[in-house]
A and B are shown apart, each in its own frame.
Chain A
Amino acid sequence: MWQEYAIILIRGIGLGSVYALIAMSFNIVKVSSGILNFAQGNMFVLGGMLAYAAVALFGQPSFIVWLLLIPVAAIIIAVVLLIQGYLTLLPLSYSDDQQSWLITTMAVSIIIGAVLLLVQGPNALMVRSIFPNVPLFGMRVPAPFLLAIGLAVFWYVVLQWFLSKTLTGLAISALWQDPVAGRAAGLKVRRLQLLAFGLSGLIIGSTGFVAAPIITIASDSAVAYVLNGFVALVIGGVASNTGALIAGPLVGVAAMLATFKIGGEFQGLVSMLILVGILLIRPEGIFGSTAARRV
């Protein structure tokens, strides 16, 4: 019996790590510009499509080739996000105090979804993992579940280091605290915000590529990933990568446990209940921080 719980735990953490990575890619953009990029789900799916394209081009690539292709996919999505970021930030040049990003990020999401539908059609793309399944507790776990966990830890460490140990990262963190003061101090705000968009592209592109064999790569699947990533973001606390790293797997494991013990119909309900419960107890999320605002 314990083996079943162990497998559910591992697979739940694996799937939750994907949500955590989506939440982290939300965070870096949110910290720099206050923008929640709703196109992030489609960027994630695009990353998965690149994995599909890689298999189509190289057959089943060797481990070395696959490893080299991760940064390639990440950079491609980062470039796409840089362009999106530029377009999103452009109207904000006239005034920071506006919500045009809501429309632009949603518009980009819709456009990407429509282009995917035109190019790929309604069928979901299916990618076989190049790695053998990993035997665990008398059962087996597809390698992408474990790779997603590793990738979440990797990007968490990189982000923590970048945001706290480098000048550029510290400058981006400063924007979260007070963008006006940052600009007054001579920070090149737009450039830093664009950099954050690019960085989020690296995270989400590599995630889509690595997780491709266990996700649904279709023109309409982005919304579900954005929602789960958003739930992880809010539960963990907006702008907290530590929160994202914990909340993502928490949501993944809770949903799977509820399915196992109660029934599949409660899968989605449980993550929403956790979200509501956390918001009632700690509106700022588990690791979120509140800040006083002078009015």
Chain B
Amino acid sequence: MARSYNRANIFNWSRRALLGAVAIGALGISGPLLAQSNEPIKLGLLISHTGGDAISGLNGKAGVTLAVDEINKAGGILGRQVEIVAADDQSDPTAAVNEARRLSSQEKVDLVFGPQSSQRTLAVLPVFTDAKIPQISTSGSLEITPQKGPYNFSVQANADAQGYHMAHYVTDVLKAKTAAILTDNGAQALSGVPYIKKYLEEGGATVTGVQEFPFRSEDKTAQLLSLKSGNPDSLVIWANTPEDLGVLMNNLADIGWDDVPLSGPNATVMQAASAAKIADPNQFDKVAGVAYVGWTYCPGDDMTKNPFVEFKERLKAANPSNYDSLLPTISGYAYDGIMVMKAAMEATGGTDPEEIKTWIENNADKVATVSGPMKASAESHFLAGREVLTPILNPLDVNEQGLFKRADCK
């Protein structure tokens, strides 16, 4: 009896132990899942808080922060709140790599926004590729390929797409037969030079000279005098900072060459207002730039539900004290980048890098963006292609809502 009791007892205990083990095992398995579902999604914000490119960082941060605030207020992504993990690349590729390593190995972020320049993005690509972390950068160098950075997507128009519009403005709108090229020595501008040359020559224009200048150099007279000696009909410029654009405009006037029509990139549109603080605003009526279509208008357009105008209002409400020092254009495409990533995570049901990559390659154009329609493919991870860009003339000529008038308005 006692024996049978013992057997039954043992059986019961064995069964209990087994059930307990199963329960513990189940908890063990489901533990991470449960924790994961409640844990915030960690977004590494790898931008320049300091250094020469801190202006991009300031604007990128404003756009990302607004996107994250809106996402969190709406319940997060897949029910998970988004938490920003800040990292300062100090405008320096070496510092960017150190911070990228910290974000991937210590902070274990789920995705990354940044860096915001090609030099730094190229430097950190191996880190995020090895760690398989989806990344949204704002870099336009054509050296950034899906092969080098399979999980990196850029919301910045690449040098090819910008160069296409810059050159076509010269050959199609200005009908110029000759052009000179002046760029800063950044990776994006330098990588654009061969494309600008190619499109100019395809359009029937001859390149009379090419020059470059260091970022924030005090005087560009020597470069301009050198280019002027080739007697071109037009000048293609690529200056990424407002100081460089302002000094360039002043130097053109100094040497009596301010009547030459200029064709600039995206940065010209974004930086013109700041550049006009030191240069003569009247000079800008001969300056063309490349804008995202979302920032532009033609007379007669319905402006009641313009996504970019609405975005600017929300950005202003979120940054009442420093809105005047922000460039909503940069903040806008940073915001778009986060929204593309959000859509990819929601559609794929998580943070799997391969699934996110494939989804963005095939579906980015389905995401509502404020800068213009974004699109990617397996061949190009630049979300802002030629289609999202359009030339504008006189970046200081904006309507009451701050939109730029397209050069092709009828």
Contacts and interface: CB of A to CB of B under 8 A. Distances in A.
Interface of A: 4, 7-8, 11, 15, 114, 117, 121-124, 126-128, 133, 138-142, 213-216, 218-221, 224, 256-257, 259-261, 263-265, 267-268
Nearest to A123: B55
A256 B219 contact: yes
Q: Which of A122, A123, A213, A219 has the most CB of B within 10 A?
A: A122
Contact of B91 (A140, A213, A220, A261): A220
B218 interface: yes
B146 to A, nearest CB: 30
B256 A138 contact: yes
Given A220-B51, A260-B226, A265-B185, A133 B254 contact: yes
B318 interface: no
Interface stretch (B35-43, B67-75, B206-214): B206-214
Nearest to B182: A264
B180 to A, nearest CB: 13
Contact of B221 (A7, A117, A219, A265): A7
A264 B213 contact: yes
B212 A264 contact: yes
B17 interface: no
A257 B254 contact: no
28 contacts: A4-B229, A7-B255, A15-B218, A117-B54, A121-B58, A121-B325, A122-B48, A122-B54, A123-B55, A124-B242, A124-B243, A126-B242, A126-B277, A127-B278, A133-B254, A140-B253, A140-B256, A142-B254, A214-B218, A220-B50, A220-B51, A220-B91, A259-B211, A261-B226, A263-B226, A264-B222, A265-B185, A265-B212
B52 A8 contact: no
Contact of A216 (B58, B218, B222): B218
Nearest to B48: A122
Contacts of A220: 50-52, 54, 91
B343 to A, nearest CB: 31
Nearest to B276: A126
B130 to A, nearest CB: 30
A7 to B, nearest CB: 7
Nearest to A8: B222
A239 B219 CA distance: 29
A4 B225 contact: yes
A128 to B, nearest CB: 6
B330 to A, nearest CB: 12
A44 to B, nearest CB: 13
B358 interface: no
Given A122-B53, A219-B54, A220-B54, 19 more contacts: A7-B255, A8-B225, A121-B58, A126-B277, A127-B278, A128-B277, A139-B255, A142-B250, A214-B219, A216-B243, A218-B52, A218-B216, A218-B243, A220-B51, A220-B52, A256-B222, A260-B222, A264-B213, A265-B212
B255 to A, nearest CB: 5
A60 to B, nearest CB: 13
Contacts of B52: 218, 220
B283 interface: no
Interface in B205-246: 211-214, 216-219, 221-223, 225-226, 229, 241-243, 246
Interface string B19-60: 000000000000000000000000000001011111101100
Contacts of A127: 278
A123 B274 contact: yes
Interface of B: 48, 50-55, 57-58, 91, 185, 211-214, 216-219, 221-223, 225-226, 229, 241-243, 246, 250, 253-256, 274, 277-278, 322, 325
A127 B278 CA distance: 7
A139 B219 contact: no
B255 A15 contact: no
Contacts of A265: 185, 212
B254 A122 contact: no
Nearest to A4: B225
B254 A216 contact: no
A216 to B, nearest CB: 5
Closest 7 CB pairs of A and B: A122-B54, A259-B222, A260-B222, A126-B278, A264-B212, A256-B222, A216-B216
A11 B219 contact: yes
Contacts of A139: 254-256
Nearest to B51: A220
Contacts of B241: 124
Contact of A263 (B51, B212, B225, B322): B212
Contacts of B325: 121, 123
Given A123-B274, A133-B254, A220-B50, A260 B225 contact: yes
B277 A8 contact: no
B148 to A, nearest CB: 25
Nearest to A221: B216
A228 to B, nearest CB: 10
Contacts of B221: 7-8, 11, 256
A252 B329 CA distance: 37
Contact of B185 (A8, A121, A219, A264): A264
A72 B325 CA distance: 29
Contact of B225 (A7, A126, A214, A215): A7
A122 B241 CA distance: 12
Contacts of B58: 121-122
Nearest to A113: B50
Instruction: Count chain A CB atoms within 10 A of each CB in B58, B221, B223, B246 and give the residue with the most.
Output: B221
Nearest to A267: B214
Contacts of A214: 218-219
A185 B185 CA distance: 55
A264 B223 contact: yes
A142 B225 CA distance: 16
Given A139-B255, A140-B254, A141-B254, A122 B57 contact: yes
A247 to B, nearest CB: 18
Nearest to B212: A264
A210 B197 CA distance: 41
Contacts of A4: 225, 229
Nearest to A258: B222
Contacts of A124: 216, 241-243
